[in-house]
Amino acid sequence: MPSVADTIVTALKRHRIDCFFGQSLPSALVLACEAAGIRQIAYRQENSGGAMADAYARISGRIGMVVAQNGPAAALLVAPMAECRQAGIPLIAFVQEVELAHSDRNAFQEFDHAALFAGVSKFCRRLDDPARVDDIIDRAITAATSGRPGPAVVLLPADVLRGPAQPAPFARTASLGQWPLDRPAASAEAVAQAAALIAGARNPVVIAGGGVLNSRASAALQALMDTAHLPVFTTNMGKGAVDETHPLAGGVQGALNGPHSLARQTQPILDAADVVLLIGTRTNQNGTDNWKIYPRGATFVHIDIDPMEIGRTYEALRLLGDARETITALTAALRACDLSRRAAARPGLEARLAEAWSAFDNVRRVYAASDAAPLRPERVMAELQPLLTPDTIVVADASYSSMWVVGQLRGATAGARFLTPRGLAGLGWGMPMGLGAAIARPGAPVVALVGDGGFAHNWAELETAVRHNIPLVTVVLNNGVLGFQKDAETVKFGRYTSACHFRDVDHAAIARAVGMQAERIARADQIAPALRDALAAGAPRLIEVMTAPDAHPALSLFAGTLDR
């Protein structure tokens, strides 16, 4: 007779879930999944498993699934789930619960999981009734993939999981595992009002956030920018939403606007904006440089799937809806408007943006072309740039690794994926996210850029990469310090704490210890050959680059202090 675990597996297959990230528990569920051909990617630690499922969802367009034991294992899922909650990424977590008869009796590793996950999930339910398996799973997946996506949790008492299945009261046949699940568009009245504002503006600009990528709206955005002749900037999480070689693309705007940055060159265009169209952005602190980069007198129009994000900081004309559908409707409305002012302004805009990109290349050359040792991260990015293909996925850890990727690489494909954990910006997720991305898109080149500080959080997953033969190229920038922490404390306090420096660690040796081919490089002429060989290998590789401890991205925090 089928068990409840078997019934869950049937539901998972209906929702097209064909792999998950786990570590054997809940055993009844994992055994049933593997027997049915649903692949387990066995992580070494739950924090990493959550990050893998996050990246899997971002790249595949399907919900990510992670499983864990109750108690301490469940607690380790909280941080990656918080990243998904903030970034709007759908995740379903199946967490083992103590047997029903043992509940509330201090059973082994018993914990109040509903309270634990309350702040980081959209949905959390315990499966008590075997007849309600389909109901609970469909509700969980619907919560995760609809509206602003996020995590959902299903708690599985061990005895219920092992017990016999029961007939469902109502048949369910829908497949809900893709996202966005629903695509509502903003009202025609609001869209027409926005089109009139944009068509009549002197200097409108677009700010594209991560919601554009979540909605798979890059093609729609490019049609909008070409139709209405609009300059488009992105946030950190929105990088890749547009082809940055497009003549109207202005690259990333945000806190990376210090000397030697692209945003410093393009800021005058933003300063002159009279209408700012925000798309799929939380207008958060880093994305707005402490809420300073937008003109105070501008009129804002905001497209977002989450009604609470519209007007959070900037009062705006509300276009509540899916980014792709609403952009498409806005483009159609603009075609009915007089766009002669916009068309006349386009050549000048393109010239100014071309000058900005050229000026950026000139000011960063001192670092990007440097042969100095220890190596500059900008030189590493300059050597990676020509190796990028339309299919390449670049993943970065939080902190400086994210800034090197979003601030130095230029994406030449609309919809290119640069994954950065900027929802909560936790250290240590870069390499696990790279593994999840590589699982989601077999055959695509995937590079994860991590610092030595963040990499130490999760380097056990090197063994995961080898065991599953996941062809991820991990580039470790080893500068021996917690870079941002040291630099930020120096600026704010004139000194830094004793935690900022590390002993010398041979990360290549760690990788080789688990059977991964790895090398440590210290010269500029070694970078490109190492990257080319690793990308061509079709197997997990690690490249450790010895980098300058005083190198830092062009953050506004350092303008006038570390950067003079």
| Residue 104 buriedness (CB in 10 A; 0-12 / 13-18 / 19+) | exposed
| Residue 559 buriedness (CB in 10 A; 0-12 / 13-18 / 19+) | middle
Give the pLDDT score at 248: 98
Q: State pLDDT tens for residues 5-59.
A: 999 999 999 999 999 999 999 999 999 999 999 999 999 999 999 999 999 999 9
At position 154, the amino acid (one-letter code) is V
DSSP state of 274: S
Q: State pLDDT tens for residues 7-22.
A: 999 999 999 999 999 9
**DSSP E strand boundaries for 290-445:** 299-304, 316-320, 393-396, 417-419
Give the pLDDT score at 560: 87
Q: State pLDDT tens for residues 424-471.
A: 989 999 999 999 999 999 999 999 999 999 999 999 999 999 999 999
Task: Give the model's confidence band at 78: pLDDT under 50 very low, under 70 low, under 90 confident, else very high.
Answer: very high
Taken in order 235, 150, 95, 26, is the CA torsion positive or negative? negative
Q: Is residue 289 a contact partner of residue 219, using CB atoms and an 8 Å limit?
A: no
Give the pLDDT score at 106: 94
Rounded to whole angstroms, the Cα distance separating 107 from 400 reads 43
Residue 421 has which token pair? 């954990």
Task: Give the model's confidence band at 82: pLDDT under 50 very low, under 70 low, under 90 confident, else very high.
Answer: very high
HEC letters along 196-235: HHHHHCCCEEEEECHHHHHCCCHHHHHHHHHHHCCCEEEC
Residues 6+ apart with CB under 8 A from 425: 286, 398, 399, 402
What percentage of the chain carries pLDDT values higher than 70? 100
139-143, 224-228, 243-247, 423-427: the lowest-pLDDT one: 423-427
Q: State pLDDT tens for residues 348-372.
A: 999 999 999 999 999 999 999 999 9
Q: Is residue 486 a contact partner of residue 437, using CB atoms and an 8 Å limit?
A: no
Report the DSSP beta bridge partners of residue 94. 67, 154
Q: How many residues does the chain have?
A: 564
**DSSP E strand boundaries for 290-413:** 299-304, 316-320, 393-396
HEC letters along 445-491: CEEEEEEHHHHCCCCCHHHHHHHCCCCEEEEEEECCECHHHHHHHHH
Q: Is residue 176 a contact partner of residue 142, using CB atoms and an 8 Å limit?
A: yes
Q: Is the pLDDT of residue 564 over 80?
A: no
Task: Give the model's confidence band at 1: pLDDT under 50 very low, under 70 low, under 90 confident, else very high.
Answer: confident
- Owner of token pair 């309270």: 115
Q: Give the distance between the most distant pair of CA atoms in the chain.
A: 74
Q: State pLDDT tens for residues 262-277.
A: 999 999 999 999 999 9
Q: Is 408 left (phi over 0), alpha (psi -120 to 50) or beta?
A: alpha
Could you tell me how far CA 95 lies from the centroid of its own chain?
24
Give the pLDDT score at 501: 94
Give the pLDDT score at 185: 98
Rounded to whole angstroms, the Cα distance separating 233 from 338 reads 24
Task: Give the model's confidence band at 563: pLDDT under 50 very low, under 70 low, under 90 confident, else very high.
Answer: confident
Q: State pLDDT tens for residues 125-184.
A: 999 999 999 999 999 999 999 999 999 999 999 999 999 999 999 999 999 999 999 999
Predicted TM-score (pTM) above 0.95: yes
Arithmetic mean of pLDDT over the chain: 97
Query: First vs last Cα of the chain: how many Å apart?
Result: 73
